[in-house]
Amino acid sequence: MSDALRNGDGTARAQILGGIRRSLRRGELAGEARKVVETRLAEPPRGPSVARGQLPQAEKVALFCQWAETLNATVARVGPAEVPGEVSAYLARNNLPATVAMAPSPLLEGYDWASQKMLSIRRGRGEGSDQVSVTGAFAGIAETGTVVMASGPDHPVSLNLLPDTHVVVLREGDIVGGYEDVWGRLRARYGKNLMPRTVNTITGPSRTGDIEQAMELGAHGPRRMHILVVRD
């Protein structure tokens, strides 16, 4: 994708899309057809919602935790003051090094990491040598136990993918019923032409059953996911 198209240059976009239409032997959008497209872009229709996610908030949180654990993640429900201590305790329980790569997020900076004297934190993007990452999450999806990550300077995508262990800090208030709720929140947060470059939806640790139909964790990303669901 060209930089002009990626950055929202209207002229470049028109040229590229015009070239695609010509290759498909289609004419320029005009009249009613153009109006239909512009209306859809201005007011995106909402897709179908799964009934099991349409619950009171407390039940959404419980359903999210249930599905996350069913799909091989571990979950701890904690208060804000308990977040740093739970991260340290999780690392100790699993015999992991007390060294983490953390997203440089204002959300995470609100916790008292200095209280964990033995925890070493490097803030920035993930590197191949990192064993543990700590990130926030844009949202959690109750219907599938999925966490949603929006990329940006405060959340490098590499932290979701490179380390063997991914610790996610998710606020209860950011848990929604279904996927359609996430797209609405993304549009409201970022606005038109300002959407994040990458949105990752992650359901449990990475896994595959391709080899002899035996489930293997850590195939294409972290083999462990620990989600801290933080009470509001």
Residues 19, 65 within the same domain: no
Residues 26, 76 within the same domain: no
Count of structural domains, the chain: 2
The predicted structure's pLDDT at residue 101:
97
Residues 55, 104 within the same domain: yes
Q: pTM of the full predicted structure?
A: 0.80
| Cβ 224 vs Cβ 163: under 8 Å | no
Residues 117, 7 within the same domain: no
- The rounded distance, in Å, linking the Cα atoms of 140 and 172 is 8
Residues 80, 113 within the same domain: yes
The predicted structure's pLDDT at residue 179:
92
Residues 19, 97 within the same domain: no
- The rounded distance, in Å, linking the Cα atoms of 75 and 25 is 53
Residues 35, 55 within the same domain: no
Check which CATH number belongs to the domain holding 149 and give it. 3.40.50.10420
Give the residue numbers spanning the domain of 201.
51-230
Long-range contacts of 113-117 (CB under 8 A, 24+ apart): 113/84, 115/84, 115/85, 116/84, 116/85, 116/87, 116/88
- Render each residue's pLDDT in the chain as its tens digit; 232 residues: 445 444 445 678 778 878 887 888 776 767 777 777 777 777 777 777 777 888 999 999 999 999 999 999 999 999 999 999 999 999 999 999 999 999 999 999 999 999 999 999 999 999 989 999 999 999 999 999 999 999 999 999 999 999 999 999 999 999 999 999 998 899 889 887 788 999 999 998 866 655 666 556 546 668 899 999 999 8
The predicted structure's pLDDT at residue 21:
79
Residues 13, 86 within the same domain: no
* Encoded amino acid at 183, one letter: W
The predicted structure's pLDDT at residue 212:
63
